[in-house]
Amino acid sequence: MRVILLLVACAVVAQAEAAPRPGKVVRIERKARRFWGEPRWCGVSLETMQAFCYGKQPPVGANVAVMDMNHTIGVYQADKVDPLGACKGAQNTLWTVHLKGDAPTQTVDTNIAGLIDVTIDPRVAKLVRVDEAPGSRPSSPEQMTGFDLDGDDRADLAVASFTCDENGDPVTALSVAGGTPDQCLEMWYANGHGFEKLRTDRIGHNCF
């Protein structure tokens, strides 16, 4: 009798363990990417092997990762760095960077951009479209550059460009005294659930 009761008890326990248990939906946040350097955006002309970079002056020898909408075109080195525009000294945030390396032999996408001081995976990194400007800035998707650094088709870094005043606030030409606004570039990074601003580079209108 004890053996029978024991078998019945074991069967009841087994059925209880096999029965589906109520669960809950757990939201998995996108892993935040850390940037320890000072990421900088560059417009690039591979025909002349030059990059036109914003922000802190790039050092000679710095890596410039150049991407289009399909792939990483190449990682080049800054061979020479010159001020660009009329601003000099501490005010200067525009640079002409002469690139060292082999130019691509095949035609690349016309939409290309470069990054300085960012570690990428050159096997998968590329530009991606940013459908909505981060934060409350007025930039449209056409004024955004998104960098997918790890191949998941989502922007890890995004650059927004817009006209601004001396405080870095968005403006139009009509709302600025004298009618000539400055140009601002904001660098944003994906923090796991959205975008967080890294910094703003403001280029005075008298620098162009």
Higher pLDDT, 102 or 28: 102
CA distance 188 to 67: 18
Q: Is 50 inside a domain boundary?
A: yes
With vertex at residue 101, the alpha carbon angle to CA 98 and CA 105, rounded to the nearest 5 degrees, is 110
Q: How many CB atoms neighbour CB 171 within 10 A?
A: 18
Residue found by looking up tokens 């191949």 in the block = 151
Domain span at residue 161 reads 39-207
Cross-strand pairs, 197: 188
Lowest mean pLDDT among 48-52, 135-139, 153-157: 135-139
Lowest mean pLDDT among 37-41, 99-103, 155-159, 192-196: 192-196
Q: Is 33 inside a domain boundary?
A: no
Q: Is 155 inside a domain boundary?
A: yes
Q: Is 187 inside a domain boundary?
A: yes
Instruction: Return the SS3 of 11.
Output: helix
Nearest alpha-carbon partner for 74 in 51, 40, 52: 51
Q: Is 192 inside a domain boundary?
A: yes
pLDDT band at 118 (very low <50, low <70, confident <90, very high): very high
Q: What is the pLDDT of residue 41?
A: 95
The secondary structure element, H or E, covering residue 195 is: strand 195-203
The total number of structural domains in the chain stands at 1
Q: Is residue 150 within 8 Å of residue 72, measured between CB atoms?
A: no
CA distance 143 to 94: 18
- pTM score: 0.77
Q: Is 169 inside a domain boundary?
A: yes
Q: What is the pLDDT of residue 130?
A: 86
Ranked by mean pLDDT, the top range of 1-15, 59-73, 90-104 is 59-73
DSSP assignment of 37-91 equals: S--EEEEEETTTTEEEEESSPPPTT-EEEEE-SSSEEEEEEEEEEEE-SS--GGG
Q: Is 184 inside a domain boundary?
A: yes
pLDDT at residue 2 tops 50: no
Lowest mean pLDDT among 23-32, 92-101, 114-123, 197-206: 23-32
Instruction: Return the SS3 of 143.
Output: helix
Summarize pLDDT for 20-47 with one digit per residue, the tens: 455 444 444 445 555 667 899 999 999 9
CA distance 71 to 4: 69
Q: Is 65 inside a domain boundary?
A: yes
- CA 43, 46, 47, 53 torsion-angle sign: positive
CA distance 108 to 70: 9
